[in-house]
Amino acid sequence: MERRKVLVRLNRYISMCGLTSRRKADELIKAGKVKVNGLVIKELGYRVDPTTDVVEVEGKILKPPRYRYVLLNKPCCYLTSLVSGKDGKRSIKDLIKDIPERVYPAGRLDYNAEGLLILTNDGELANMITHPKYKLPKTYLVWVEGKVSNETLKAMEKGADLEDGFAKPDSVRIVKVKGNITLLEVIFHEGRKHIVKRFMAYFGHKVKKLKRTAIGPVKLGNLPSGRWRDMTDEELNALKKAISLEKKHGVGV
């Protein structure tokens, strides 16, 4: 069977190779500093085949990108950003300085939230992880103020009308109650900003602590806070299978 060519935009390919951002790549292209197979290319929408085309930037031939898939246990009070934060806020950039590839977070966690982040330079997979149409579930442990009653739990299962639309968890359950704090496990397949906190606030419960423990079949496990590790082949295959099954069955389309 003949291999199907997969073409990517030239600016994205340059970024994938770790040279610079897509925006800066566009500037290099417009300036005539990029060649493909020996020819100067100034067309911003130009596409290349990463497996056969030779891309040269300012006289330097780019090496084809090596995809990297990283799991990070983000601590509380770190920005999900690869640039330094304002007002002295730390970012996850400080935690992944020893990763040579330019990997980017597939999704976000709030500044005060902690737990699992997937970082990768595989843009296609990152998009599938974050896009709600694939309905990839994200699992959270949520500590809230007050005792969540069974009636409230049943109401949570039915969903809530938030200011930016209806939100319904894939599942929600009470893990334990200690004093005036309830620990819940909540699963959402979408990633609207502050969705877990806003959902809990709708029912009158303020979030004290939020931790993401899984993205699809990939679990945080015992990865220490602030540390990262490469995703195993088994985890990567399971993740791709979960996404492709959702896509195949047309879930969420």
Query: Which residues are the active-site residues?
Result: 110
C-alpha closest to that of 56 among 75, 29, 16: 29
CA distance 160 to 99: 41
Query: Strand locations in 121-168, DSSP E?
Result: 138-145, 160-162, 165-167
Query: Strand locations in the chain, DSSP E?
Result: 8-9, 34-36, 39-40, 47-48, 55-57, 60-61, 69-74, 104-105, 114-120, 138-145, 160-162, 165-167, 171-178, 181-188, 207-215, 218-219, 228-230
The token pair that represents 145 in the structure block: 């103020």
